[in-house]
Amino acid sequence: MPARGLTVPYRIAGDHVFEALFRFFFDHSPAVFAQGEIRWAAWAGSFVAVAVTAVAIAAAVASYRTGSRLGVRDRVVLTTLRVLLLLLVLACLFRPVLVVRAAVPQQNVVGVLLDDSRSMGIADMDGQPRAAYVRSAFGTPQTGLLGDLADRFAVRVFRFSSTATRAGAGADLAFAGTETRLGASLTAARQELAGLPLAGLVMVSDGADTADAALGEALLGLRAEGVPVFTVGVGRETLDRDIQIGRVATPRIALKGTTLLVDVVIAQKGFDGQTVTLDVEDEGRIVSTQQVALPTGGAPATVPVRITVENEGPRVLRFRVPALPGELVADNNQREALIDVRDRREKVLYFEGEPRFELKFIRRAVTEDENVEVVALQRTADNKYLRLGVDDADELVAGFPKTRDELFAYRGLVLGSIEAGSFTGDQLRMIAEFVDRRGGGLLALGGPRAFSEGGYAGTAVADVLPVVLDPALRDKQSPLLRLNVRPTRAGAASAVTQVAPTEAASVERWNSLPVVTAVNRLDAVKPGATVLLSASDASRRDYPVLVYQRYGRGKAFAFTPQDSWVWQMHASIPVEDLTHENYWRQLLRWLVDEVPDQVEIRTSSDRVEPGSTVPFTASVADAAFVELNDASVVATIMGPDGAVSDVTMAWGGEKAGEYQGSFAAETPGWYNLRVQATRAGATVGAASAHVRAAPGEQEYFDATLRAGTLRRIAEETGGRYYVAGSTDTLSDDLRYTGRGVTTIEEHDLWHMPIVLLLLVGLLTAEWGYRRVVGLP
C-alpha cells in the first residue's frame, strides 16, 4: 500500500536560503515534495530485512542494559541512537521513491502576465526602473527567464494594466498604462487560455492594484478551475526618500464664493523636519501657497488650506509640492480635485417671533452675497407678520408654510425666538421632515421663546436639534448668561468658524470679541453632535454656543446667543471690521450646503480613463420629496467635441426613485451631463454634473511593492511568490504543478545527501557518547 507524501502546501515565500539548503539536502525543491507522494520500491525480502533489523535492535537494547557501569540516562541515549540508525538502514533497504506528475515538455501552456503600467517606470531597483527587470528577464523568448520557460512550455505572453491583452514579449511593452487591475487581468488571461492544457500563470508586477473591485471574485474563478498563479514581485516595499500628497478632502459641489477649508495630507519618508511649499492651483492660477514643516519620524502632516472658489463651472484644483532632491517618485507630489462650482441663489426662510436686532443684522450680513437670500417672516402681532425678501405677493402671505410643498421650496430654515405653540403639530412634523426627508438645513437661534423655554421639548423638532431639551423649563425664564465665545478643537479646524485668514489668527480674533448673552439653559448635547463654539460663564462652566449634527439627509444647528449683533455694533469693534458678516455668511452657506434637489445626479467618479464606460444614477422625487418610480428621465450628454447624445434612463427596480444610465467617454476632455425628469407631461426637475476623461495619476501613489497582495494571489491559488532576481526554481515549480499533459516520474530518496549525513551523524553521535561515558 503506497503511503501518501507531504500534503501541506509549500507556503514559504521568498526564503531563498531555505530553498538552497532544502535542494542541497534533498536533491529536489520543496514544490516537488508538496506535489508528489512517497512509495516503497523494494518489497522483496522485506520480512527478512525487518526480522534482521528487529534482532539487531533487540541485541543493541540487551547489550546496553547489561552494562553495569552505565546509568539509566546513558543507556537510554545510546539505545535510542542505535535504534534510529538501524531504522534508517531499514528504510533505505525498502528503497523509498517520490512519485510526481511532471509536465510533458512543450505539451503544456504557461501564461505570463507582464505589468505594463506607469508605476513600472519607478527607478527603485539599484537605480534602475522596474521595467528594466521585465525587459531583462522577459524581453525575448530566447533569453532570460522567458527563455527558460519557453524551453519547457508553450508560452503565451500578456501585457496588462486595466486588462490583459496578448503581447510578443517584454520588449514590446511601453509601460504607459494609467491603471492596474490585477483581478480583471487574471480573469481575462484565464478566459483566453480556457480549454488549453494550462500548467499555470505567471504574474510579474509591483502589485499596485488601483481598481475599486476586490480580488476575491477573480481568485475564486482561478481556484475553481485549479489554475495556480506564480507571482513575481518587482520593486521595493519601502521608498527611502519620497513625498506624497496622500489625501485631499474637498466637496464635489460648492456654491460660488464659498470659502473652503481643505485638509491636505502630506506623507513623507526621508525628509524629517524639512520645510516644503504647498501650492494650490486653479486652472493654472495659484490661489494659495504656504510653507509646511514636515514632522519627524516619517509621520504625515495634515495641512488646512483655505480656498475661495470664485468661478462657476467645473474647476480642477491642483495641490502640489515641488520635487525635492533625491526623491524616487516625483509624480505623486501633486493631486487633483474636481469641484463643481454652482452659481445660483439659495433661499433661506427665517421665522422670527418678535422684533429684535438679530434678524436685522443677519439679513444685513448677506445683503451683498449674491448666492444666499434670507426671506424673513417676523411676527408683529397675533396672526400678523412682516415679510421681507419675498419673490411675489403670494409668498408666505398666510404666515409660516402649512404644506410640505411650500416649506420644501426653501433650502434652509432658521427659527428665531418663536415658541413651539405658534406651530401646529403637523407643522412641527414638517420641520423635522424638512431636515430628515428633504435634506434641508435647520438653524435654531437662542432667545426667550426658543429651545426648552419655548416648549420644544418632546416635539418632533426636539428630535432633530443637536442639544438636549428639558421639558421642566417650558415657559420659564432662565438666568442671563454672559459668554466669552471661543472655538473648540473641532471648531478651530472648521471653515464655518474661520473668521481670519489663518487658524491661529481666527482663534485670536474669537478671544478678542465682546461678550454676548444667552437666556436658554442647555446642559447637554446629543451623543452624535459636534460642538464648534463654546463659552464659559461667570462660574467657569462650559456652555455650548454653536452645535451641529447630521440628521437623516440633512443637518441641524443650534446657536444659543441671543445677540450676536454685538459683534458688529459694540464700541470696541471698528466700523470696517467684517467678523460678524463673515461668520454669518459662512454659517448660512454651510446651512444650505449639499442640500439635495428634486432631481439629483451621481457618477461613480468625477474622473475616468478615456475610452471607459461611465455609469451614473439619478434620484427623482416630487415637491414633497417622495420618490417617484414612474417618471420619464432622459440624460443629455455633451462631449468635449460638442457632440450631443441622449440616454433614456430606466428605474433600477431596487431603490425607490433611482434611475440608471451609462455612456462611453471615448474622447479626453469634459463631459457635461444634464438630466431632465418629467411626469405626466409636467416637469419634475433637472440636474447637471460634469465628468472629466483624462489619464489618472493613481499609479504613482503608494507605489511601493505590494508584496502582501502578490502573496495572497499565489497562496490562494496554490502558486508561489518570488522576489525579482530570485526565480531560479520558477520553471521547475511550474513543471510540477500536476496540471495539463503530465507524465509520472520516480525520484529515489534513499541516496539523498540527507540520508548519508544522518547515517554519519548517528554513528558519530553514538561513538562520541560512548567515549564520553568511558566505553570502548
Mean pLDDT check: name the lowest of 96-100, 221-225, 485-489, 733-737.
96-100
pLDDT above 90 for 711: yes
357-365 vs 579-592: helix crossing angle, rounded to 10: 80
Arithmetic mean of pLDDT, 590-607: 92
Q: What angle do CA 260, 265, 266 make, to 5 degrees?
A: 130
Arithmetic mean of pLDDT, 277-291: 91
Burial bucket for residue 320 (CB in 10 Å: 0-12, 13-18, 19+): middle
d(CA 148, CA 686): 62
pLDDT above 70 for 8: no
Percent of the chain scoring above 90 in pLDDT: 60
Structure confidence at residue 36 (pLDDT):
59
Query: Sorting pLDDT into bands at 50, 70 and 90, what band is 560?
Result: very high
Instruction: Write the pLDDT tens digit of every residue in 220-231.
Output: 999 999 999 999
Say if strands 742-748 and 96-103 run parallel, antiparallel, or are unpaired.
antiparallel
pLDDT above 70 for 22: no
Q: Return the number of other C-beta atoms located less than 10 Å from residue 397's C-beta.
A: 10
SS3 of residue 116 by DSSP? coil
Cell numbers found for residue 249? 478632502
Which DSSP state fits 55?
H
Arithmetic mean of pLDDT, 571-599: 94
d(CA 136, CA 128): 12
Going along 273-333, which residue ranges are E strands?
275-282, 285-293, 301-308, 313-320
Query: Sorting pLDDT into bands at 50, 70 and 90, what band is 62?
Result: confident
d(CA 749, CA 734): 22
d(CA 693, CA 663): 12
d(CA 222, CA 198): 12
Structure confidence at residue 44 (pLDDT):
47
Q: What DSSP line would sit under 552-608, residue for residue?
A: TTEEEEEE--S-TTHHHHSTTS-TT--HHHHHHHHHHHHHHTT---SEEEEES-SEE
pLDDT above 70 for 270: yes
Nearest to 261, CA basis, from 502, 457, 547, 615: 502
Say if strands 607-608 and 682-693 run parallel, antiparallel, or are unpaired.
parallel
Of residues 263 and 102, which shows the higher confidence score? 263
pLDDT above 90 for 352: yes
Of residues 662 and 756, which shows the higher confidence score? 662
Query: Sorting pLDDT into bands at 50, 70 and 90, what band is 3?
Result: very low
Which DSSP state fits 168?
S
Instruction: Write the pLDDT tens digit of every residue in 422-474.
Output: 999 999 999 999 999 999 999 999 999 999 999 999 999 999 999 999 998 88
Structure confidence at residue 479 (pLDDT):
87
Cα dihedral sign, 673-677-681-684: negative
Arithmetic mean of pLDDT, 678-695: 93
CB 119 within 8 A of CB 127: no
Which of the given ranges, 2-16, 61-75, 561-575, has the highest pLDDT on average?
561-575
pTM (2 d.p.): 0.77
Cell numbers found for residue 485? 465665545
SS3 of residue 453 by DSSP? helix
Instruction: Write the pLDDT tens digit of every residue in 530-540.
Output: 999 999 876 77
Structure confidence at residue 9 (pLDDT):
32
pLDDT above 90 for 34: no
Nearest to 209, CA basis, from 330, 132, 117: 117
pLDDT above 90 for 169: no
Nearest to 369, CA basis, from 207, 185, 587, 526: 587
d(CA 287, CA 397): 45
Cα dihedral sign, 164-169-172-177: positive
Average predicted confidence (pLDDT) for the chain: 88
Instruction: Write the pLDDT tens digit of every residue in 63-97.
Output: 766 655 677 787 788 888 888 877 877 777 777 77
Mean pLDDT check: name the lowest of 109-113, 226-230, 456-460, 499-503.
499-503
Arithmetic mean of pLDDT, 22-30: 58
d(CA 726, CA 722): 7
Mean pLDDT check: name the lowest of 46-55, 515-524, 610-619, 674-683.
46-55
Strand order in the sheet with 542-551: 384-388, 372-381, 346-352, 412-415, 441-445, 554-559, 542-551, 530-536, 481-487, 516-518
Of residues 45 and 743, which shows the higher confidence score? 743
Structure confidence at residue 231 (pLDDT):
95
